[in-house]
Amino acid sequence: MTAETRGAQPGPVRPKAKDVLVVLLSHQLPSDLERTMETWRSVVSADSLLLAYGGASSNFSKIDFEQKVFISDPRLRLRDQQREHQSWEGVVQAANDFLQNSAHQYLYLVEYDHIPLRGDLLDRLKERLLTEQADVIAHHLHRIDGTSSAHYLYHKNEGRFHDYFARISKRDEKGVILSMLGTGSFWKRKAFKAVAACEEPFPIYVELYLPTLAHHLGFRLRDLTDQNRFVMHLGDRGSEIEEARRQGAWTLHPVKTLPASFVRPL
Amino acid sequence: MKMLLRSIGLAVVHKIGMKIFDSESGRPLGRVLLIPWGGKVHVVGLERSVRPVFLLQTRLTYWKQDLGFTTHPPPDFPSLERSQKPGTTDSRQ
């Protein structure tokens, strides 16, 4: 067990980052969500945590957390997220609305099954952003134009795809298409607000739309390379939590159900 | 059932398929099956996004060209805002 886990000797309480807004996207039942929220509350204060709820509207009122917003966007609730071009437009707009009345300088977008393993997670992300001189850092960030990427080939079949980015691009090279994992992207306020100010022109899968748009608006994106092995797109890694912590993971994804033995980060 | 068959097929390809390498860095890109069919080449078993490229010739030949694969480098594009404002630092907010 590491010094960062609950079983360690009690140390000074770590001050929580006040300038990062964590936007947590979940569709869990209120009973399951409670534990997820509790976990995030150990790394961020309640006033810097925004729950973007994509579950059933009947459950929304049962969630005992003040800072919550119901995402009604049907394009969030798709059976085949990739083929039907899942959109986080509703989530992005809800977060942007929240930012209008808050001074948060950074924003962290995470899904419910992406769990924090370090109490200083948000400080680490801020530091990495600074080190990389980036405006956005994300997991599995790749350039995919002209490649065999199935997502790219599927979107390129839509004639307007490249045209749209070429039209709005501030860069010389207008054909660049980026891809990232949806969960775990960390944004500077300015970059996020610039992306939120654009209206999605037609359905584009969120994992392509957000990074490519940010890139063409002139922002710098970098990959969280060393953390990527802890943040994969498939599986259930609930049994790997302590091992991942030992190996230096800041977060772990996907963890569909938190095991009873889970120790919240300190 | 369909998914199971697909998984078994891919496992076989990844075991006995042809090794392909990044034509620029020499890095292995995995094992795939290349099937020429109907004027196209079907590529089965790719596990990463690759770009097909005709390889450079060290000797001029008219009768044969080689097709290889490569990848994009990790995204490392500058911030336009910073590149347009020399001397600014990342602490601007």
Q: A28 vs A62, A206, A257, CA distance in Å?
A: 12, 20, 10
Rg (CA), chain B: 20
**The pLDDT of residue A89 is above 90:** no
B36 part of contact set with chain A, CB < 8 Å? no
Which residue of B34, B71, B72 is the best one to mutate when testing the A interface, meaning the one whose CB has the most A CBs within 10 A?
B72
CA distance B15 to chain A (A): 21
CA pair distance A266, B24, nearest whole angstrom:
45
pLDDT, position A16: 72
What is the rounded average pLDDT of the residues B39-59? 94
Q: Which residues of A touch B82 (CB under 8 A)?
A: 133, 220
Residue A77 near residue A152 (C-beta atoms within 8 A): no
A35 vs A222, higher pLDDT = A222
pLDDT, position A3: 40
Q: pLDDT for A92-102, tens place per residue?
A: 999 999 999 99
pLDDT, position A8: 41
Grade residue B17 by pLDDT with cuts at 50, 70 and 90. Answer: very high
pLDDT, position A197: 96
B91 part of contact set with chain A, CB < 8 Å? yes
pLDDT, position A78: 65
Rg (CA), chain A: 18
A48 vs A264, higher pLDDT = A48
Task: For residue B79, give the nearest of A130, A135, A145 by CB distance.
Answer: A135
Task: For residue B72, give the nearest of A135, A147, A220 by CB distance.
Answer: A147
Instruction: Give the residue carrying structure tokens 């030992």.
Output: A246
Which residue of B20, B33, B44, B80 is the best one to mutate when testing the A interface, meaning the one whose CB has the most A CBs within 10 A?
B80
**The pLDDT of residue B88 is above 70:** no
What is the rounded average pLDDT of the residues B21-43? 94
**The pLDDT of residue B89 is above 80:** no
A220 part of contact set with chain B, CB < 8 Å? yes
**The pLDDT of residue A15 is above 70:** no
pLDDT, position B80: 94
pLDDT, position A5: 42
Which residue of A107, A219, A227 is the best one to mutate when testing the B interface, meaning the one whose CB has the most B CBs within 10 A?
A219
Which amino acid does the sequence have at A65? F
Both tokens of A172, joined, read 């010389």
Looking at every residue in chain A, the average pLDDT score rounds to 89
| pTM reported for the whole predicted model | 0.87
pLDDT, position A37: 92
A192 part of contact set with chain B, CB < 8 Å? no
Grade residue A13 by pLDDT with cuts at 50, 70 and 90. Answer: low
B46 part of contact set with chain A, CB < 8 Å? yes
Which of these ranges, A62-76, A80-94, B78-92, has the smallest mean pLDDT?
B78-92
